[in-house]
Amino acid sequence: MSKIFMLVLFGALIYGIHLWLNTKSYLFDDQTIARIAEKYFGLPHQDAFDKVGEVLRERYPGHILPKEREEWIFVNAGGWMGAMCLVHASLTEYILFFGTAVDTSGHSGRYWANVSDTIMTGNFRQWKEGTTESEEYGPGVTLLHAWGEATSVQWTAGTWMVEYGRGFIPSTLPFAVSDTIFSTQDFYTLYRVVRIYGEALFQELLCALG
Ligand SMILES: *[C@@H]1O[C@H](CO)[C@@H](O)[C@H](O)[C@H]1NC(C)=O
């Protein structure tokens, strides 16, 4: 009996989050973030990220982590290795800079979130589920990865992008740290991921409290 109760509770929770995601208002949207990022593609990636960070801090005061809190953290997931620099995160949205300094490839992950990536430099190859061919994308292109989708991804060395995610963000974390926990066992990286997400959530809490 209690198992059934737990199942019903779990179902209600999922449904509740789903309703919340579909009715709440959001701070950002994929178009706006893509438009900001597109202005700077082709610049050396660190310069481009500096510019994007500046614009975001100006447009969304209080919601973007301060420049001195920007840090590159390794991401190992789906068999690939990259690095991210988080600039905003809440329970339902995030913005980060992402990329890799080496050739790498693997599984994109299947998320309860829509993720869009604007490529700033390099080369992003995507192989969609159910197809037998892959496609290649370059700087200035924005790719949408809809929730529930899975692809194979390949990035060449020096591919960097601006990423915006919208959905139930805590649900994306287990994948993002999957290889960190079960493969690299780099618990210092895990700690840094949890710490920066915690800091971003705390900053959003402060914003909410005015
Ligand atoms: C994710 O994208 C789909 C369309 O691809 C849309 O129907 C859905 O509302 C989006 N989810 C959120 C949380 O914005």
Q: Kindly report the protein residue whose alpha carbon is nearest to atom 10 of ligand 1.
A: 114
Ligand 1 first shell, C-beta below 6 A: 21-22, 114, 146-147, 166-167
What pLDDT, on a 0 to 100 scale, did the predictor assign at position 2? Answer: 87
Q: Kindly report the protein residue whose alpha carbon is nearest to atom 1 of ligand 1.
A: 114
Q: How far is the CA of 185 from the centre of ligand 1 (A)?
A: 34
pLDDT by residue (tens digit) across 161-202? 999 999 999 999 999 999 999 999 999 999 999 999 999 999
Q: For residue 210, what pLDDT band results from cuts at 50, 70 and 90?
A: confident
Domain positions in the chain are 28-209
Q: How far apart are CA 88 and CA 72, in angstroms?
A: 14
Q: Which atom of ligand 1 is nearest to the CA of 166?
A: 13
Q: How far is the CA of 166 from the centre of ligand 1 (A)?
A: 8
Q: Which atom of ligand 1 is nearest to the CA of 26?
A: 14
Q: How far is the CA of 114 from the centre of ligand 1 (A)?
A: 6
Kindly report whether the global pTM for this prediction surpasses the value 0.85. yes
pLDDT by residue (tens digit) across 98-133? 999 999 999 999 999 999 999 999 999 999 999 999
Q: How far apart are CA 86 and CA 103, in angstroms?
A: 22
Q: How far apart are CA 47 and CA 52, in angstroms?
A: 9
pLDDT at 96 over 70: yes
The CATH class of the 28-209 domain is mainly beta
**How big is the CA angle at 138 (ends 136 and 143), to the nearest 5 degrees?**
75
What pLDDT, on a 0 to 100 scale, did the predictor assign at position 76? Answer: 98
pLDDT by residue (tens digit) across 46-67? 999 999 999 999 999 999 999 9
What pLDDT, on a 0 to 100 scale, did the predictor assign at position 1? Answer: 66
